[in-house]
């Protein structure tokens, strides 16, 4: 499991690329459903679907990613959702705790905060930390929450520069708080 989370953290760095605590701020968003993951995306965020991720060389364990259309300090804030098949039944809180331990060994790791979000009725910690997974790259800020749905473990990781405006943090928490693995109900046929 440790390798998968390290890969997920590195992947966020790749997706963030280079370019030219939640607040009470209300963020308007549009609800989307992507295969197995639902989220509400603020208007300045875009979906990086599986075809685009494949074209960028992103591993198959990334179910979906979202990217802010505006760069911040030369980086595009990114939220990715990775999926890991589980061979045994794991409680969502135990899985979340394991992911927190797995990233604590990253170079430059420093715990900043833990906040709570509800994912499909389960209260889980959002682990906010700094790390520098790649030498020669700047240290970055990560917001990460993990859960279990069926026989899969999911980790949602947001990647930003160290310092962000409260409006960007609000957008990220809007996405994290809206994550669901329960498919929307389809309207009854007439």
Q: What is d(CA 64, CA 83) in angstroms, rounded to the nearest whole number?
A: 9
Is 117 in contact with 173 (CB distance < 8 Å)?
yes
Q: How far apart are CA 140 and CA 151, in angstroms?
A: 31
DSSP letter, residue 188: P
DSSP string spanning 135-153? TTSPPEEEEEEEEEETTEE
* Per-residue pLDDT, 2: 44
User: Domains in the chain and their CATH numbers?
Assistant: 2-178 (3.40.1000.10)
The one-digit pLDDT tens for each residue of the chain (190 residues) are: 544 544 444 444 444 443 333 445 566 889 989 888 999 999 999 999 788 889 989 899 998 999 999 999 888 999 999 999 999 999 999 999 999 999 999 999 999 999 999 999 999 999 999 998 888 888 899 999 999 999 999 999 999 999 989 999 999 999 999 999 998 876 555 5
Nearest to 60 by CA among 78, 30, 81, 37: 81
- Residue 23 is predicted with a pLDDT of 45
Which among 77, 51, 45, 76 has a CA at the least distance from the CA of 64? 51
Two structure tokens written together for 65: 């990613």
- 86, 153 contact by CB (below 8 A): yes
The reported pTM is 0.82
Residue 23 tokens, joined: 């607040």
């Amino acid at each position: 499991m440790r390798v998968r989370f390290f890969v997920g953290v590195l992947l966020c760095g790749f997706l963030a690329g280079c370019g030219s605590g939640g607040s009470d701020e209300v963020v308007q968003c549009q609800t989307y459903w992507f295969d197995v993951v639902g989220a509400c995306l603020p208007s300045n965020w875009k979906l990086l679907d599986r075809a685009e991720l494949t074209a960028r060389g992103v591993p198959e364990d990334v179910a979906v990613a979202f990217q802010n259309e505006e760069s911040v300090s030369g980086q595009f804030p990114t939220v990715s959702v990775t999926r890991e098949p589980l061979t045994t039944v794991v409680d969502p809180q135990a899985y979340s705790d394991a992911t927190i331990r797995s990233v604590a060994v990253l170079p430059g790791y420093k715990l900043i905060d833990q906040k709570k979000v509800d994912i499909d009725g389960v209260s889980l910690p959002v682990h906010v930390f700094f790390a520098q997974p790649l030498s020669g790259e700047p240290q970055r800020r990560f917001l990460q929450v993990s859960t279990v749905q069926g026989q899969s473990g999911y980790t949602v990781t947001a990647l930003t520069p160290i310092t962000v405006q409260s409006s960007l943090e609000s957008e990220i928490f809007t996405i994290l708080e809206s994550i669901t693995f329960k498919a929307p109900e389809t309207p009854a046929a007439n």
